[in-house]
Structure 1
Amino acid sequence: MTDEVLWTRPGAPEVAEMMAELLHEYVSRYGPVAGERMERFPDDTLTPPDGRLMVLLREGVAVAGGAFRRHDSTTAELKRIWTHSSYRRQGLARRVLEVLEAEAERLGYRRLYLTTGPRQPEARGLYLAAGYTPLFDVTVPPAGPLPFEKELPLLVEPVLHAATPGLRGSG
C-alpha cells in the first residue's frame, strides 16, 4: 500500500482531524495546559519559506503527519509528529520522520531539534530508534520535556527559501 505525501498548510481540511486528535492526545496525557502549549507556536511558522507541514494520505485519509519550523539559521525544529490512533504500529511515524528529515536537508538545514513529553514513551523510543541523540540523561526517570537532536548530512545542494514543489491544499 502506497501512502501519498501531501505538503499542506495548518488550516487545510486534511489537517483538521490530525490537529484535533493530536490535541486530544496531549490533553489526555498532560491536562488542559497542553492546549495552551500547542498554541505557543503560530501556524505560519510551519509554512514556507522556513517551515513545512505534511500529511501522509492513505486512500484520501490523513493517517500521519508532522511539521518543522526554523529553530535557528541551521536548525529545524520538528513539531506535531502524529499518527492517527487507528493506524499506529505500522511504521508511519518513522516514515513521517524520514520525509521531514529529507525536506529539512533539502532546504539546507544541518540539524534537527525536537522535544517530546515525559508521558510519551513511544515517542521517546521512536526518536532513539531513528538515531536522534537525547539531550538529557536517559538513566533518570523523565520529569520534564525531553529534548533530542540529530545532525543532517548535507548531501544535496540546499534550496533555501524555495517554494515547495507540489504544495497543494493551501486551504
Structure 2
Amino acid sequence: MTNTAPHRTDLWAVTPADVTTPEAGELLRDYYYDVANRYYRLHLGREGTPEELESGLADSPSDDLAAPSGLFLIGRYDGVAHACAGLRRYDDTTVELTRVFVRPALRGTGGGGRLLAAVDAAARAMGADRIVLDTRLDLVEARALYLRNGYQEIPAYNSGPYAQVWYGKDLGTPTR
C-alpha cells in the first residue's frame, strides 16, 4: 500500500540506532513479516504461519548491523519509528545495504528517499565508496526506490537464496 497524501518529507528524520533495542526489533520483525509474507503469497499462495515467520526471523539475525562491522538506521515520521535500513561492511571500500523498510501506511511520503540519503552519508562515514545490495524481483517498490536514488543493476556479487537482482551505487571518494 502506498500513501497518496502530500509528501511531508520534513516530518522524516533518520538517525543511527542500536539494533538490539526493542524499537529496532519491532521494525525488523515488521520488515521480515512483510517480505516473507509477500514471498509466501507469491510462491505458496498463502500467508506464512507465525511459527514459519518467527523461525525465519530467528535464522536472519541482524546483530552485524552494529559497530564495528555495520550500522543500523531508524527513520522516524513525526517522531515515531516507521522505517529502517542496515549497512554491513562487505570489503574495505564497500558496504552492503540490507533491511530497508518503510511501513506500508507511510510509503509514498518520502521516507524511503530520506532513508537512502542517510544511508549514503553513513556509508561515506564508514569509509565506503560503494554500496551494494541484493533483492527479489517481486519487491518492485524497493527496486523502484533504488533506481530513483542512483542505484544501478550490477552483476551478482553473492548467491543468497532470495537474491534475484543486484544493485550498486558509487559514492565517490570516501572520507577517511
With normalisation by structure 2, the TM-score equals: 0.75
Matched ranges for 1:57-72 at <5 A: 57-72=76-91
Compared CA separation, residues 149 and 52, structure 1 to 2 (3 A):
same
Name the structure 1 match of 2:26: 17
Matched, 1:26 2:45: no
Q: Retained in 2: the 8 A contact 1:27–1:35?
A: no
Structure 2 unaligned spans of 5+: 1-9, 41-47, 156-161
The alpha carbon displacement at 1:17 in A equals 2.5
Any idea what SS the aligned residue of 2:132 has? strand
Matched ranges for 1:1-171 at <5 A: 1-31=10-40, 42-135=61-154, 145-154=164-173, 157-158=175-176
- Residue identity in the other structure for 1:22: Y
Return the alpha-carbon distance in structure 1 between the equivalents of residues 93 and 56 of structure 2. 24
The alpha carbon displacement at 1:7 in A equals 1.3
Any idea what SS the aligned residue of 2:69 has? coil
Any idea what SS the aligned residue of 1:94 has? helix
- Residue identity in the other structure for 2:22: P
Return the alpha-carbon distance in structure 2 between the equivalents of residues 105 and 27 of structure 1. 30
Q: Quote the sequence identity (%).
A: 28
With normalisation by structure 1, the TM-score equals: 0.77
Any idea what SS the aligned residue of 1:154 has? coil
Q: Retained in 2: the 8 A contact 1:26–1:35?
A: no
Name the structure 1 match of 2:45: none
- Residue identity in the other structure for 1:83: V
Extract structure 1 runs of 4+ deviating beyond 6 A.
33-37
Alignment length (residue pairs): 152
Q: What's the RMSD between the two structures over aligned residues?
A: 2.4
Return the alpha-carbon distance in structure 1 between the equivalents of residues 127 and 20 of structure 2. 26
